[in-house]
């Protein structure tokens, strides 16, 4: 089952899908100074939900991410950790992967490439 | 007339006028002959005896003079004649004054007009006449009787009449400065005789007085012409007189000849002595010249190896040795090894098989510096052969028989080494050779000392210069030509420097400076200043601000020091040069069109003076333009002021050159170089077109996205590779976000491309500078500049007139993360 949500502004798109043991949230568009807070707001609920065994953020369609976007991802990671879970980043595009590496955040996040 | 006499009688007075008379001080044999002949003629030509007597004294007064002023020698000349014997009633004989001439012809006439010979004989009167007669061998009886007269003539010499007992007229002698008296006389016929007295102001030597013998005989002959004679007696008298004349001349000639011969002998001895001493002097001069020549050559050689070889060759050649060597006084732990350094006259391998000279009795004095060792045959020297196992030179050694060894001792008393000279023949080295060797050793010691000092100083100075002078960077589009020339005299390093510092946005700082003073201190201050300039350039401070800070820095040094400096920044985006100067000679801007302009208005004060602000000027600097920075050594000339120097330099710059290298070489060649000179010519000739694009952004969240579009579109249009575009977009995003978030003012975004590099800069109106804040893994912010730093080759921020500018430069090679 896949449901599609249109973003509530700043060009981001979100799609959610159920996983056997959790939730998959697909993000699309440019995560920047203008849009990062939208991602933060949209993902904060699932991230804080201790009932979810898994939370996978599918970044396949992220065309740009800057330091503001990284800030949003870290915030979600911390929220998730506080809820006793972890945030998985799936299908991170090469530019974002590079960004994570140069900011040493690739150690912080769990990156997965298998289809979810 | 007598048959013996020549018929032609020249007028003696006329002859006198022609000859100018005779100098009694230098009265010679030839003078004697001519003067005697004239007197004879004067007497003979007179009408009677008494006239003849007067003619003789007249002639003597007129003919004899003394010295250069020609003053007549005779203060008084008198001729006395015996009066004919009287009859039986009047048997007394008299001497009558027959001629008198001079200053006071009438002197004491009463006393001398008619002198009784009895009084003369008894010494009662006319002591001079008495002395003359005695000198001629007449005793008092003879004077009275005339017995013993017939064949005499003679001369009386009173060399110093003042106070003489035979001179009665002392007042006259004193008043008329009479210095000598000469008397002469002789027999006439029968018992008659004549006597002449000359009171001479010219001192008459004994030798000159001797010459008056022939004068006497000539006067005698002249007077005899008038003597009352019976014919046979007269003839005899005249013949006798001629014989006497010849005899007198012969004796005079003999004496003169002997004197001449003895003079010649003396002369030849003197000449031999002269020649000998001349030889000695020439030899000395040659020695001195040789040593001087060797010495001056040595002192010009500053390379130690060359110096030692030259000295060894010179000493070997000059002492005529078959071979010579120089050994350094380098001892090993056993104190026994000396280092062979130079060899002359034989190939080096002749020596290599032998042990070095050892501390033997023969070598000891040389290496101790205690003595020169010279031996005609070293094999017989008692010091030879005391170095077991050797007894003398080792087999196969050079055949040393004649031996000369001279220590080379430095001015500070250190025995540097020694010259060892040898020859297979015995007795080759003389005292002179030893002196040459000692002389060259002394010169060598000084030259070696100098060379050593020079090498040390030169080395230190060169080392320092190398460490302080910049390696010019390679900058795209900027051709840099620089020269550093130490002053032609001296070895002290100067405080001049030039520097080129790449700045962001393709800009370049061009620097020239000059610390006043010389030597290590100036160089050290120069080093500090240069480092400071680089540090301030790193902060990308405006030129006037760089100088202000340098001024403060220099003022804080413990020892006050002044310096001048020009700091110029080339901005290729604006085609300008921003220049500030602190009391430095004005830099010249060469336009691409060949114009030459000095940036010389409103020079700031030198650094280290303090207080006043520095002025910054902006001058056009387009493609093809060049900036010439230099220190005053380039234009300084003795006796000319700086304005002349600048005019001359401008004229030289106006002449086109094939290349900047040639141009700078020409400038440097024209410099007098009495001072250190640093020159830097920076020519701007962009190799690839530089592209720039800019856009304005409002302080709103959407500006970041707009900026990304602008950068991506622009760079893609410039055919920039996609990975570089992505990085530039990311960098631009972060910079704009910073401006939007922190400054909250309008911003200007620019992108430039030149030589494959991309620069992105964002200018806003907030003077606060961004800081890079360290982040932890769970920090949500402060990653923007971390990303900029990672993606760009370098980045920075600089203050602008109304805010700040943050920039980042990206290069293809720098793309991607650090390994």
Query: If DSSP states are collapsed to H, E and C, what string results for A69-88?
Result: HHHHHHHHHHHHHHCCCCEE
Shared domain check, B599 and B735 = no
* Structural domain count, chain A: 1
Whether B215 and B98 share a structural domain: yes
Answer yes or no: do A71 and B741 touch at CB < 8 A.
no
CATH code for the domain of B242: 3.30.450.40
Average pLDDT, stretch A34-42?
92
Indicate the residue of B708, B726, B777 with minimum beta-carbon distance to A95.
Answer: B726
Residue B15 located in a structural domain:
no
How many angstroms separate the CA atoms of B380 and B371, rounded?
19
CATH classification at residue B510: 3.60.40.10
Domain identity same for B117 and B167: yes
Question: What CA–CA distance (Å, rounded) separates B809 from B700?
Answer: 25
Contact yes or no for A99 and B787 at CB 8 A: yes
Question: How much is the pLDDT for B468?
Answer: 59
Please give the residue of chain B at the shortest CA–CA distance from A78.
B778
Helix and strand tally (H, E) in chain B?
21, 29
Note whether residue B367 is domain-resident. Answer: yes
Find which of B698, B701, B734, B774 to mutate to test the A interface (most A CBs within 10 Å of its CB): B701
**Domain termination residue (choose one: B440, B459, B478):** B459
Contact residues on chain A for B698, CB-CB shorter than 8 A: none
The size of the A-B interface in CB pairs under 8 A is 69
B228 touches chain A (CB under 8 A): no
Q: Please name the residues in contact with B241: beta carbons below 8 A apart, sequence gap of 6 or more.
A: B217, B220, B221, B224
Domain assignment of residue B372, yes or no: yes
Residues of A whose CB is below 8 A from B705:
30, 32, 34
Residues B219 and B79 placed together within one structural domain of the fold: yes
Tell me, yes or no, whether B389 and B529 share the same domain.
no
State residue B265's pLDDT score. 78
B722 at interface of A, judged by CB pairs closer than 8 A = no
Q: Are residues B318 and B238 in the same domain?
A: no
Q: What are phi and psi of B466, to 5 degrees?
A: -60, -40
Closest CA to B321 of B441, B440, B380, B402: B402
CATH no. for residue A63? 3.30.750.24
Q: Got the DSSP string for B641-655?
A: -HHHHHHHHHHHHHS
Kindly give the parts of chain B with pLDDT less than 50.
1-10, 333, 814-819
Q: Say if the Cβ atoms of A67 and B740 lie within 8 Å.
A: no
B200 lies in the same domain as B223: yes
- pLDDT score at B227: 72
Instruction: Of B629, B632, B637, give the one whose Cα is nearest residue B664.
Output: B629
Residue among A32, A74, A102 whose CB faces B817 most closely: A102
Q: Which of B437, B459, B481 is the last residue of a domain?
A: B459
Q: Give domain status of residue B528, yes or no.
A: yes
List the strands of the sheet with B757-764, edge to edge.
Answer: B691-697, B747-754, B757-764, B803-810, B794-800
Q: What are phi and psi of B295, to 5 degrees?
A: -60, -45
CA distance A1 to chain B (A): 33
Q: How many CB atoms lie within 10 A of CB B380?
A: 10
HEC string of B225-282 equals: CCCCCCHHHHHHHHHHHHHHHHHHHHHHHHHHHHHHHHHHHHHHHHHHHHHHHHHHHH
CB half-sphere exposure, B99, CA atoms < 13 A: 28
Chain A residues whose CB is inside 8 A of the B728 CB are none
Q: B730 and B672 share a domain?
A: no
DSSP for B343-402, written as a single string? EESS-THHHHTSPPP-S-TTTHHHHHTS--EEES-GGG-TTTT-BTTBSSSPTT-----E
Residue A2 pLDDT class (50, 70, 90 cuts): very low
As a whole number of angstroms, the distance between CA B805 and CA B798 comes to 5
Question: Model confidence over B294-338: pLDDT tens digits?
Answer: 877 777 776 777 888 888 998 998 888 998 988 887 655 455 556
Domain identity same for B389 and B505: no
- Structure tokens of A87? 């945030």
Q: Tell whether the model's pLDDT for residue A10 goes beyond 60.
A: yes
Cβ–Cβ gap B737/A33 under 8 Å: yes
Q: What angle (nearest 5°) sits at the alpha carbon of residue B212, between those of residues B210 and B214?
A: 105
Q: How many domains does chain B have?
A: 4
Residues B508 and B550 in one domain: yes
Q: Which of B154, B217, B155, B224 is nearest to B189 (CA)?
A: B224
Give domain status of residue B582, yes or no. yes
**Which residue of chain A is at minimal alpha-carbon distance from B730?**
A66
Which pLDDT value is given to residue B6? 42
Q: Do residues B763 and B706 touch, judged by C-beta distance below 8 A?
A: no
Same domain, B436 and B513: no
**Last residue of one domain, picked from the residues B666, B684, B702:** B684
Cα-Cα end-to-end distance for chain A: 13
Per the domain annotation, does B363 fall within a domain?
yes
pLDDT at B341: 73
* Same structural domain, B75 and B218: yes
Range of the domain at B660: 470-684
Flag whether B424 is in a domain. Answer: yes
Which residue in A67, A70, A101 is closest to B817 by CB distance?
A: A101
Question: Which tens digit of pLDDT belongs to each residue from A74-95?
Answer: 999 999 999 998 899 999 999 9
User: Three-state DSSP class for B169?
Assistant: coil
- The answer to whether residue B277 sits within a structural domain is no
Of chain B, the end-to-end C-alpha distance in Å amounts to 147
Test the B interface: residue of A44, A100, A102 with most B CBs within 10 Å: A102
The H or E element containing residue B325 is strand B323-328
Nearest to A32 among B704, B783, B787 (CB): B704
The parent domain of residue A80 ranges over 2-112
């Amino acid at each position: 089952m896949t449901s599609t949500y249109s973003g509530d502004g700043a060009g981001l798109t979100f799609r959610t899908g159920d996983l056997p043991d959790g939730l998959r949230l697909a993000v699309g568009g440019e995560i920047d100074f203008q849009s990062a807070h939208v991602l933060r707001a949209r993902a904060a609920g699932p991230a804080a939900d201790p009932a979810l065994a898994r939370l996978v953020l599918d970044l396949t369609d992220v065309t740009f991410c800057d330091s503001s976007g990284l800030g949003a991802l870290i915030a979600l990671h911390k929220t998730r950790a506080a809820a006793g879970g972890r945030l998985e980043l799936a299908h991170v595009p090469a530019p974002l992967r590079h960004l994570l590496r140069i900011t040493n955040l690739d150690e912080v996040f769990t990156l997965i490439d298998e289809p979810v | 007339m007598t048959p013996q006499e020549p018929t032609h009688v020249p007028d003696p007075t006329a002859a006198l006028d022609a000859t100018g008379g005779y100098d009694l001080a230098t009265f010679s044999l030839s003078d004697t002959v001519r003067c005697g002949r004239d007197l004879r003629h004067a007497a003979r030509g007179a009408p009677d005896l008494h006239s003849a007597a007067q003619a003789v004294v007249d002639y003597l007064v007129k003919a004899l003079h003394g010295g250069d002023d020609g003053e007549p020698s005779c203060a008084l000349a008198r001729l006395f004649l015996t009066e004919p014997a009287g009859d039986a009633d009047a048997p007394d004989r008299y001497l009558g004054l027959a001629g008198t001439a001079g200053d006071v012809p009438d002197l004491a006439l009463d006393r001398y007009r008619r002198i009784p010979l009895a009084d003369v004989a008894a010494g009662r009167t006319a002591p001079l006449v008495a002395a003359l007669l005695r000198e001629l061998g007449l005793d008092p009886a003879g004077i009275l009787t005339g017995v013993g007269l017939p064949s005499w003539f003679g001369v009386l010499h009173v060399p110093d009449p003042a106070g003489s007992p035979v001179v009665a007229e002392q007042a006259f002698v004193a008043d008329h400065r009479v210095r000598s008296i000469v008397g002469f006389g002789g027999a006439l016929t029968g018992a008659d005789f004549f006597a002449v007295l000359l009171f001479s102001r010219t001192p008459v030597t004994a030798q000159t007085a001797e010459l008056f013998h022939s004068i006497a005989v000539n006067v005698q002959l002249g007077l005899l012409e008038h003597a009352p004679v019976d014919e046979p007696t007269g003839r005899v008298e005249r013949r006798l007189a001629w014989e006497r004349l010849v005899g007198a001349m012969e004796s005079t000639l003999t004496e003169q000849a002997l004197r001449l011969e003895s003079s010649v002998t003396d002369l030849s001895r003197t000449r031999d002595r002269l020649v000998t001493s001349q030889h000695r002097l020439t030899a000395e001069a040659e020695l001195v010249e040789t040593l001087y020549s060797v010495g001056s050559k040595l002192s010009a050689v500053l390379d130690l190896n060359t110096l030692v070889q030259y000295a060894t060759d010179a000493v070997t050649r000059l002492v005529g040795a078959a071979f010579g060597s120089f050994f350094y006084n380098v001892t090993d732990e056993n104190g026994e090894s000396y280092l062979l350094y130079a060899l002359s006259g034989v190939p080096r391998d002749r020596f290599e098989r032998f042990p070095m000279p050892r501390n033997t009795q023969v070598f000891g004095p040389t290496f101790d510096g205690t003595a020169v060792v010279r031996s005609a045959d070293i094999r017989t020297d008692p010091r030879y052969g005391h170095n077991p196992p050797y007894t003398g030179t080792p087999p196969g050694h050079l055949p040393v028989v004649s031996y000369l060894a001279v220590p080379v001792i430095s001015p500070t008393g250190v025995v540097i080494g020694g010259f060892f000279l040898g020859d297979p023949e015995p007795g080759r080295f003389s005292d002179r050779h030893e002196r040459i060797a000692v002389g060259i050793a002394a010169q060598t010691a000084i030259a070696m000392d100098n060379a050593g000092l020079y090498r040390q100083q030169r080395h230190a100075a060169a080392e320092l210069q190398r460490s302080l002078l910049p390696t010019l960077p390679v900058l795209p589009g900027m051709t840099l030509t620089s020269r550093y020339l130490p002053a032609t005299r001296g070895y002290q390093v100067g405080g001049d420097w030039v520097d080129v510092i790449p700045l962001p946005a393709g800009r370049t700082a061009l620097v020239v400076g000059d610390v006043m003073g010389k030597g290590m201190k100036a160089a050290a201050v120069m080093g500090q200043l240069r480092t400071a300039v680089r540090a301030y350039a790193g902060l990308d401070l405006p030129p006037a601000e760089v100088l202000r800070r340098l001024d403060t820095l220099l003022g804080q040094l413990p020892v006050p020091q002044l310096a001048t400096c020009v700091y110029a920044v080339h901005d290729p985006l604006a085609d300008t040069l921003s220049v500030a100067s602190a009391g430095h000679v004005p830099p010249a801007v060469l336009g691409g069109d060949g114009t030459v302009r000095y940036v010389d208005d409103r020079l700031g004060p030198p650094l280290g003076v303090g207080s006043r602000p520095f002025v910054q000027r902006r001058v056009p600097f387009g493609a093809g333009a060049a900036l010439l920075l230099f220190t005053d050594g380039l234009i300084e000339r003795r006796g000319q002021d700086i304005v002349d120097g600048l005019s001359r330099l401008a004229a030289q710059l106006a002449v086109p050159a094939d290349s900047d290298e040639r141009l700078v070489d020409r400038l440097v060649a024209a410099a007098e170089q009495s001072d250190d000179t640093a020159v830097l010519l920076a020519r701007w000739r962009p190799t690839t077109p530089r592209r720039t694009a800019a856009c304005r952004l409002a302080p709103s969240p959407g500006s970041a996205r707009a900026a990304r579009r602008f950068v991506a579109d622009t760079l893609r249009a410039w055919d920039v590779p996609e990975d570089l575009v992505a990085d530039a977009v990311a960098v631009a995003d972060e910079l704009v976000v910073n401006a939007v978030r922190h400054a909250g003012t309008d911003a200007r975004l620019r992108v430039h491309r030149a030589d494959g590099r991309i620069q992105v800069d964002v200018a806003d109106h907030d003077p606060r500078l961004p800081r890079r804040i360290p982040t932890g893994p769970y920090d949500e912010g402060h990653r923007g500049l971390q990303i900029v730093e990672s993606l760009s080759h370098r980045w920075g921020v600089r203050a602008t007139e109304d805010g700040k500018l943050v920039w980042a430069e990206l290069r293809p090679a720098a793309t991607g993360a650090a390994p």
